[in-house]
Amino acid sequence: MDEARVGSATSGYVALLRANPSYRNLWLGQVVSLLGDWFNLVATATLVQQLTGSSAQVGLLFALRMLAPFLVSPFAGVVADRFDRRRVLIVTDLLRAAVVLCFVLVKQPGDVWMLYVLTFVQLGLSGFFFPTQRAILPDVVPRRDLGTANALGSATWSTMLAFGAAAGGIVAGQFGVYPSFVIDCGTFLLSAFFLARVRVTRTDTRVLRPGVAGSIHEYFEGLRYLRRHVDVALVACHKAANSLLVAGGFQVVQVALAEQVFVIGEGGSAGMGWIWSMVGLGTGFGPIIARRFTGDDDVNLRRVLAYSYFITCVGLIVVAAADVFAVVLIGALLRGIGAGMGWVFSTQLLLHLVPDRVRGRVFSTEFAMLTLSSAIGSFAAGWAVDQPGVWITGSLLTMAALVLVPGFLWTAWTLKYPAGLSGDAEASS
Domain spans, the chain = 12-420
Alpha carbon of residue 407 to chain centroid: 20
- Which residues, other chains included, contact 317 with Cβ-Cβ below 8 Å and sequence gap of 6+? 331, 396, 397, 400
d(CA 87, CA 15): 27
d(CA 140, CA 274): 34
Using alpha carbons, select from 195, 124, 122 the residue that is nearest to residue 364: 124
Contact 257, 275 (CB under 8 A): yes
d(CA 357, CA 130): 17
Q: What is the pLDDT of residue 9?
A: 41
Indicate the residue type of 327.
Answer: V
- Which residues, other chains included, contact 174 with Cβ-Cβ below 8 Å and sequence gap of 6+? 265, 266
Contact 20, 2 (CB under 8 A): yes
Q: What is the pLDDT of residue 352?
A: 84
Can you give the C-alpha Rg of the chain in angstroms?
A: 21
Q: What is the pLDDT of residue 249?
A: 81
Using alpha carbons, select from 382, 308, 390 the residue that is nearest to residue 349: 308
Using alpha carbons, select from 212, 213, 126, 146 the residue that is nearest to residue 351: 146
Q: Is the pTM of this model over 0.75?
A: no
Instruction: Tell me how far CA of residue 70 lies from CA of 33, 235, 237, 366, 396, in angstroms.
Output: 21, 18, 14, 10, 26
CB burial of residue 108 (10 Å; 0-12, 13-18, 19+)? exposed
d(CA 44, CA 119): 9
Q: Residues 95, 364, 312, 63: is their CA dihedral positive or negative?
A: positive
Q: What is the pLDDT of residue 426?
A: 46
Going residue by residue through the chain, which has 429 residues, state the pLDDT in tens, using 9 for 90 and above.
343 333 334 557 788 888 889 999 999 988 887 777 777 777 888 888 788 877 678 778 877 877 788 788 778 877 877 778 889 999 999 999 999 999 989 888 888 889 999 999 988 888 888 888 888 888 888 878 888 888 787 777 767 766 776 677 777 777 777 888 888 888 899 999 999 998 887 555 444 555 555 566 777 777 888 889 989 999 999 999 998 898 878 877 777 777 777 767 666 667 777 787 788 788 878 888 888 888 878 889 999 999 999 999 999 999 888 788 888 899 999 999 999 899 889 988 988 888 877 887 888 788 888 878 887 887 787 777 766 655 778 888 888 999 999 999 999 999 988 877 755 544 444
* CATH of region 12-420, choose from 1.10.357.10, 1.20.1250.20, 1.10.3720.10, 3.30.460.80: 1.20.1250.20
